[in-house]
Chains A and B, each alone.
Chain A
């Protein structure tokens, strides 16, 4: 105590700051940094949890890049991204753009669109799974059959399964994106619109020449945020295709599901760790692209 009292105000501040940070720094070191290093380390080893950990160098990566399942899964992951991101971007922008211009019961409409964001992915995956079942169980096929339209095989078809799994993932994220878009739209100064009105510019030109360019930071944020989400898709896939995880012929299997199965069904930890490193690098590239695009503004 005497020692503390003799410190200058500045020194006391340093003691307090590190006192406050002691537990968090320990936490981040042990629960974030050490495991990151460990994952990279394990990716160069062969280990099935029970036996010895042996160094294998790049063998796991060589095996991975020669594995046709990996390429199938890699492709699936990017299909989720390349369909999911543009579709959710266009829908959420469209809704936000019109919702922004609507005054009547604005809060109520906004609530309808936002509610799915508050649901749990697992619960909703099961609801959608029920919707997709064949007659007489599934809602969609029952609906189609009342109009005499032939049934659609949603989850057990190699072509339809992936979009069917993707739909609830897009649906659940829309509310968040709509709110972010509306905040972005509100941030555009009204004076731009007034200037355009004085010049007699058509609404379509206003949209393309004023609104969308000024929304660029918002758009980049949403694209990156939802891209990362789709690259990490797991909950929906796991719950909509259980019993046959990854869908017929792995047609819906994303990278994270492959990681999960390699690590916790086959217990091939080294191989799974190599897959997580690949996922990490993919996510890193996507995030860096955001920085690059935002910089050249």
Chain B
């Protein structure tokens, strides 16, 4: 006894002696400085985009970060043109509906696969899992043919239908429903709630953080989606922001400050969302990365 006690004490002493000294030494300072510099470099493209969108044409090409006389004329000009206004509205509508659909269906499927025992459960699980392997690019041609056949080209439905449910979201939600105790569900059943009510009023409120993470990812994914909206839309009024911005930039005579304004219009909303829900989003990235 005494011997082990002695070893414990001496190892404690060793630990103390070896503890690194805390003062803000040179190394720590240098580390912080370099990280800070790197971080500034990281946000430079975003900063220059916003700064240029506030400049007059004659000062666009100088390196100054703060415009001599910042103004919002570029924004009024671009929005009054009408196109960016439509594209913005299209993007918002599509991203919101798709997000809502994913939140409802992915969690419903995740919940069913997690909490119900029924024949065919394993097959459905494997089938949905296997769709994670199929790249979107492989499906765009059949989707296009399908849209052509059913007249979905150039409609909201045509842009939205491929993303209404995702396997990724289903598995994220399934993982989180594992944390809901079966006793809660059993108790609700005894109280006479039907299965739909149990899912909506008992299980869903318990996985709110996961729902929020899912919603943010789906929204961001649809807000920035490019290849499918590019394929399925062909009239200017139906473009989403990324497709519109791409075509806007291609017009040879368009000035860079106006392109930067367009880019800012499509970037600022997500940046604001990030700044408000920062902690939430970072936690969501970790959850999605490690569990999804």
Contact = CB atoms under 8 A, between A and B. Distances in A.
Residue among A119, A180, A276 having the largest count of chain B Cβ atoms under 10 Å: A119
B66 interface: no
B260 A127 contact: yes
Given A98-B35, A283-B133, A126 B165 contact: no
B242 interface: yes
A40 to B, nearest CB: 9
Contacts of B141: 39, 42, 263, 269, 272-273, 276
Nearest 3 pairs between A and B by C-beta? Answer: A112-B39, A35-B142, A123-B263
B241 A120 contact: yes
B246 A32 contact: no
Interface stretch (A67-75, A149-157, A204-212, A236-244): A236-244
B63 A14 contact: no
Given A17-B116, A242-B249, A113 B31 contact: no
Nearest to A143: B63
Nearest to B116: A17
A39 B138 contact: yes
Given A24-B105, A35-B142, A235-B226, 10 more contacts: A20-B112, A102-B35, A118-B274, A120-B242, A120-B266, A121-B242, A136-B61, A142-B61, A180-B290, A276-B137
Contacts, number: 256
B54 to A, nearest CB: 14
Contacts of B176: none
Interface string B125-148: 001100101110111111111100
Contacts of A110: 282
A256 B137 contact: yes
Given A126-B259, A183-B289, A16 B195 contact: yes
Contact of B267 (A123, A143, A263): A123
Interface residues of A, number: 92
Nearest to A276: B138
Given A14-B119, A123-B267, A130-B256, A28 B42 contact: no
B139 A174 contact: no
B220 A118 contact: yes
Contact of B134 (A36, A175, A264): A36
A230 interface: no
A20 B165 CA distance: 14
A162 interface: no
Contacts of B79: none
Nearest to A283: B135
Given A27-B164, A197-B15, A38 B142 contact: yes
Contact of B117 (A13, A114, A264): A13
Nearest to B34: A98
A110 B262 CA distance: 27
Given A123-B49, A126-B249, A280-B134, A109 B139 contact: no
Contacts of A179: 282, 285-286, 289
Contacts of A142: 61-63
A249 interface: no
A34 B162 CA distance: 12
A18 B226 CA distance: 34
Interface string A212-247: 000000000100010000001011001100110000
B201 interface: no
B32 A264 contact: no
B42 A112 contact: yes
Interface string A79-123: 000000000000000010011011011010111111110111111
B263 A124 contact: yes
